[in-house]
Amino acid sequence: MDEQFTAEEKRIRRMGAGEAAGSIDVKSSVMERVRVIHDQRLASEGGGTPASPGQAVPEMVRQGPVITRQQMPAKRPVVQRGRRLAAGLCAVALLGLAGFSVLRHVTDQETTGTLHPDFAVIRQTEGQPLVLKDNGGRIVAQVKNAELKVYTPAYIGSSSARERFFKLREQYEQQAQADLQPGETAAYYVNDSELIALMNGLGYGKPLFFTSRTVTYTNYAKLSAAREQTGKWSFALPPERIGGLQFAEGRLFAKTPSAFEPEYRLALEALKAKTEAAPDGNPLAATLWPLENIASAEVIYQDGSQQLKLQLFWNNAATTGPSQIHVSPGQTAELWTYEDKELLFIPGAGAGEENGSSVSILYWYDNAYGGLALITDPPDKRLTREQWESIAAGMVQR
């Protein structure tokens, strides 16, 4: 029997030696013969039955060392190197039979492409509110418990007034978008007495609006590249894959000024003057708005009929102090830290349930962008904690 095994082993080594010197593939025939030899040797020497692939082997028969402890010359003949390679591959195969999963672990990592980092997690405790800091140690956001108050919404007019307002605004928005190219944004002012009266009655402010013709990216790399062209970022977008969900499409939305910023007031005054001086009485005046930064993004994932839509928001408006992040009674904030990056996670009540009573939110401060950012649960779905961890892990690995 020993002579038979020796002959089989020599044939296996010749098969390995016949491979090209740079090849490290383990042929299926070699693997199969190794299993047969190993099972027969256990049956003949130990008297027991061969172990099946899913069972633990009680004790392996010790063979001679595959790698000698002597210092080997730098170069060896090709035939000897081939034999050593075959012997090494046989040893790896036998280890696999013994229950080790080294090869499978490496293969899984290469296939998924996402190795989740280990986050250090700090949970908020009574009297110790959590904070987010920038890379200089400055506190940029702090958690605060929300006080329970009875909210009475202000009167905002009848539903018919709102419907009329949105109908008029939609008409003017279509006109403002007519000359826009994909990826362009316009600011437009409407000098319509009816629209202005509706806005005053509803408390909607001034008739200066912004509209865009967004580009839909179906390639994740192109979406990421488009964002990189508009600014600097410390955090990546959510990963290309979240569990079984694969990236399907994404859109970027330009940053536009709020009513409290100087750029808004300047645009309002210039466009209003343009409509008042229009010889044809055209109530609409529009101008291209430069794409200097991004305010939000939409990333959609797909898995068959299942869809997930994530909305990301960034805000780098100047503030006089740390932003206040409120948590409702029953919620507990968590600080997730990885290397020099911090994220603040607030799981919603009933998080992970399809109809959770409140949404989960993930905050972070992007130092390169210079502002606070967040992602919330989609309106129609509640993400699981594992999905949130996958999102956060993909974003910190730049």
Band (152; pLDDT cuts 50, 70, 90): low
Range from 209-223, 266-280, 357-371 carrying the lowest mean pLDDT: 357-371
Mean pLDDT of the chain: 75
Range from 35-49, 224-238, 329-343 carrying the lowest mean pLDDT: 35-49
Q: What is the pLDDT of residue 353?
A: 52
Question: In this model, does residue 381 exceed pLDDT 60?
Answer: yes
Cα–Cα distance for residue pair 29/17, rounded to 1 Å:
14
Q: Tokens standing for 107?
A: 């293969």
Q: What is the pLDDT of residue 107?
A: 27
For helices 28-41 and 78-97, the axis angle rounded to 10 degrees is 60
Mind giving me the DSSP string for 211-261? EE-PPPB-SHHHHHHHHHTT---SSPPSPSEETTEEEEEEEEEE----TTS
Question: In this model, does residue 178 exceed pLDDT 80?
Answer: yes
Band (87; pLDDT cuts 50, 70, 90): very low
Write down the residue that tokens 């932003």 correspond to: 323
Q: What is the pLDDT of residue 173?
A: 96
Higher local confidence (pLDDT), 22 or 261 = 261
285 has which bridge partners? Answer: 189
User: What mean pLDDT is predicted for residues 116-135?
Assistant: 81
Task: Please choose, from the candidates 189, 176, 123, the residue with its C-alpha nearest in 3D space to the C-alpha of residue 334.
Answer: 123
For the chain, the structural domain boundaries read 2-110, 120-396
Q: What is the pLDDT of residue 250?
A: 97
Q: What is the pLDDT of residue 15?
A: 46
Neighbours of 7 (CB within 10 A): 10
Q: What is the pLDDT of residue 176?
A: 95
Higher local confidence (pLDDT), 306 or 4 = 306
Cα–Cα distance for residue pair 130/48, rounded to 1 Å:
61
pTM attached to this predicted model: 0.65
179 three-state secondary structure: coil
Question: In this model, does residue 392 exceed pLDDT 50?
Answer: yes
Q: What is the pLDDT of residue 351?
A: 52
Q: Which of 5-19, 81-95, 339-353 has the highest mean pLDDT?
A: 339-353
Task: Please choose, from the candidates 275, 278, 222, 209, the residue with its C-alpha nearest in 3D space to the C-alpha of residue 252.
Answer: 222
Whether 132 and 365 have beta carbons less than 8 Å apart is answered as yes
